Amino acid sequence: MTKKVGEVISSSTTSFTAQCIKQDDLNLPKAPYFGSFVICKSEDLNFDTIGIVSEIISGSIDSLHIPTAMNLSREELRLQQPQIFDLLKTEFNCITVGYLEDGKVYQYIPPHPPQIHDFVYSPDKDIIIKITQKLEYLRTLLNYSSSLSDELIAANIRYCYKLRGLDRNFIINVGREISNLLKDNYDKLSSILIKIKPE
């Protein structure tokens, strides 16, 4: 793991939500990118949950402190109103696509969801390459019930493609896999292929 990015605040069999961990007092915590992989490490379970960031939400820490427009740059806010950043939080939702156990990747739902207060990490390049050797997880993303499912799949593929050093074989294999999964849904297939086409 390379960087601790969040702490689980809710979870279910198929998804979990984490609150970003503040790195300093003068900035809003940064969430991992939409479509990126995260790993939830558990102290009590004997496996680590693999998730893909499906939504990022920033807002007030409670219902009393509602953010309002200040007409100040972020730098001016840091100088004049530094306490504002203590009243904000960022959370990210993740779709569970598999788990890691004894060094092996399993691309299906783990036997138990992450536990509250488990930490979430952005995995390093080697782990992501290992996860994406197989592409069964794309079926889970395709079945994700959201109007943004096309965008999520495309964002994940672009993220992996870039991280894998613009590996042409990877993008060709992804195209084949998606074409096979969406052979009866040309509109969705076309939408995704357009979004992942290398420039």
8 Å CB contact between 8 and 117: yes
CA distance 152 to 3: 22
CA distance 39 to 48: 6
- The pLDDT of residue 149 is 87
- The pLDDT of residue 26 is 59
* Beta bridge mates, 58: 90
Strand pairing category for 3-11 and 48-60:
unpaired
- The pLDDT of residue 72 is 85
Mean pLDDT in consecutive groups of 10 residues from the start of the chain, 199 residues:
89 96 71 96 94 94 81 85 83 97 95 96 95 95 82 96 94 95 92 89
- The pLDDT of residue 143 is 86
Q: Would you kindly state where each structural domain of the chain is located, as residue ranges?
A: 1-131, 133-199
